[in-house]
Amino acid sequence: MSKKTRKKSSKGSAKTPAKTPAKSSAKAPAKKSAQKTIPAKAARSGSKAPVKAPAAKAGKAVATKSGKAAKSASTKESHKPASKSLKSNLSATPKSDSGPIPKPAEKPLPAPGPAAALAEGAKAPGFRLPRDGGDSVALANYAGQKLVLFFYPRADTPGCTREAIDFTRLKDAFAESGTAVLGISADTVRAQESFRDKHQLSIPLISDEKHEMLEAYGAWGEKSMYGRTFLGILRTTVLIGKDGKIAKIWRNVRVDGHADDVLAAAQGL
């Protein structure tokens, strides 16, 4: 190869690398422009970033509110057991300094009336009530004579029937001793008349549906039967002397032989 050829070839090889930088330099601005566009977008997005910041704060506020709501909900839930404990405390028997206070009854029984103070030697309580036949009877009707009042629970029941029949049987003997006899219950006048007619009773029967006379003479009070407690008529007999005072009281009467015992007491008065 000649020197000229070598020079040409060296020149051609020199030109070739020169072209390469030119191409790379042409492409370089493109990359730079691309790099410039990216910051521009970043700048735009950066300009929007402050707008999104309040949203983040709002999110934090919502989170704070939800946290408060959760706390309040948990607080409410934490109060639920306390309300149950309060309820159980209310149901518990209250205590005083002297000890536990008993619970009141669901249906408290009425306080005893004047009958609690009724005793032998006391003045007989006055009364005026309807009797069988449609008339009325008063204590004043028997002033100056002895009077027997027998209080029975209910007309036409076995025990009350036997008692009324016994007093009817001894009516004449009572009359000879100057003693009148009256039967009293809370039955209606019609029930008393039916009771009288069925068993041919000759003793006047008084109807005290409002329990006024029954309470006054201590024949109304607490009773128990088959484990059940209730208010009702207590079988009682009262003997009143000529002076209008109570001579004798029979409480919780047993029917058998009772009328004979009362007659003996009236005869000895």
Distances (CA, A) of 117 to 60, 123, 204, 236: 81, 11, 27, 15
- What span, in angstroms and rounded, lies between the C-alpha atoms of 50 and 55? 9
Residue 203 near residue 119 (C-beta atoms within 8 A): no
Q: Exactly one of 129, 155, 160, 219 is catalytic; name it.
A: 160
- Is 120 catalytic? The answer is no
| Residue 112 DSSP label | P
Write phi, then psi, for 247 (nearest 5 degrees): -90, -35
Strands 246-251 and 99-100, bridge-based pairing: unpaired
- What span, in angstroms and rounded, lies between the C-alpha atoms of 209 and 201? 20
Would you put residue 161 in left (φ > 0), alpha (ψ -120 to 50) or beta? Answer: alpha
CA dihedral 185, 177, 170, 232 (to 10 degrees): 20
- What span, in angstroms and rounded, lies between the C-alpha atoms of 198 and 132? 13
- What span, in angstroms and rounded, lies between the C-alpha atoms of 118 and 90? 41
Residues labelled catalytic = 160
